[in-house]
């Protein structure tokens, strides 16, 4: 509780001047209105104390500037996509390199956070329904190489899905929402082929990994390809899974936008 110390002796003119100054400060800070009809300093002091007693003088919270709605419709050709640095990329300290590639391309990051994904998310992202498709694709690759495929497509697909779920929940990811002209295809071009062994030099996967599906399959593990980038069918849904609209900030303008026009 604040304590007010009153002087034992003070010149009356000086006291009145200080009271008027206090009144001025209160008027500016709390929008109090005072009249000058007080008969003496005591009456002026009483008026100030009475006004303070009627106020909630707790420190005012700073006002946040009003944000433009993140739901503003993007311009024609402008898209949003989800990119996240996978657990292997996080563990290897590649977060900054990935962000740098995106920003240097002129794309705008409008959402960014670290998340440790759980089993529920992994099962939704890698559902059991994908097992036959994964198994059929693997079987075709095995047979083309003249290798025996000693599993059913369903069995193999489920084993791969389990490996993917363990992998994506093994450490945090760093997720980002990226906005820009043809952002979905542009980001996928920047990250490169899903198999790093086939990814072109200059892409994220081509520069930061040399893993291969055949090599990973022999060890029954997920391929370590550093990042995930949404395709045109999954971008909107995947963004909504990890980000709320309040976590997206498209309203700021990048230097690149000042040159080519706002996204």
Domain ranges of the chain: 12-53, 78-116+171-260
3-class DSSP assignment, residue 64? coil
Q: Is the pTM for the entire model greater than 0.85?
A: no
pLDDT reported for residue 18: 75
Q: What dotted CATH number matches 78-116+171-260?
A: 3.30.70.141
pLDDT reported for residue 75: 77
* Orientation angle between helical segments 131-144 and 153-168, nearest 10 degrees: 110
Q: Give the confidence band of 137 by pLDDT, cuts at 50, 70, 90.
A: confident
pLDDT in tens, 201-260: 999 999 999 999 888 877 878 999 999 999 999 999 999 999 999 999 999 999 999 999
pLDDT in tens, 37-77: 666 656 666 666 666 666 655 555 555 556 555 556 667 88
pLDDT reported for residue 14: 74
pLDDT in tens, 67-109: 555 556 667 889 999 999 999 999 999 999 999 999 999 999 9
Say how far apart CA 234 and CA 23 lie, in whole Å.
Answer: 62
Q: Which of 228, 239, 250, 263 is catalytic?
A: 228
Active site residue 125: no
Say how far apart CA 210 and CA 201 lie, in whole Å.
Answer: 11
Which secondary structure element, helix H or strand E, spans residue 8, and what is its range? none
């Amino acid at each position: 509780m604040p304590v007010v110390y009153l002087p034992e002796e003070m010149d009356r003119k000086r006291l009145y001047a200080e009271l008027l100054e206090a009144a001025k400060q209160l008027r500016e800070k709390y929008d109090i209105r005072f009249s000058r009809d007080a008969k003496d300093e005591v009456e002026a002091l009483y008026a100030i104390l009475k006004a303070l007693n009627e106020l909630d003088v707790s420190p005012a919270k700073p006002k946040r500037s009003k944000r433009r709605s993140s739901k503003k419709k993007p311009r024609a050709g402008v898209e949003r996509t989800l990119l996240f640095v996978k657990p292997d990329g996080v563990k290897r300290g590649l977060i900054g390199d990935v962000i740098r590639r995106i920003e240097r391309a002129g794309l705008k990051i409008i959402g960014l956070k670290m998340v440790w994904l759980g089993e529920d998310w992994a099962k939704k992202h890698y559902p059991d329904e994908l097992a036959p498709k994964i198994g059929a694709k693997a079987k075709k690759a095995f047979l083309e190489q003249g290798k025996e495929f000693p599993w059913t497509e369903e069995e193999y697909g489920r084993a791969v899905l389990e490996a993917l779920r363990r992998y994506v929940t093994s450490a945090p990811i760093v997720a980002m929402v990226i906005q820009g002209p043809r952002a979905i295809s542009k980001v996928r071009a920047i990250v490169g082929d899903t198999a790093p062994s086939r990814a072109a030099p200059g892409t994220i996967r081509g520069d930061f990994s040399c893993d291969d599906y055949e090599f990973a399959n022999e060890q029954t593990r997920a391929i370590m390809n550093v990042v995930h980038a949404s395709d045109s069918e999954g971008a909107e849904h995947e963004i909504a899974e990890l980000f709320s609209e309040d976590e997206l900030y498209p309203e700021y303008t990048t230097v690149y936008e000042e040159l080519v026009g706002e996204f």
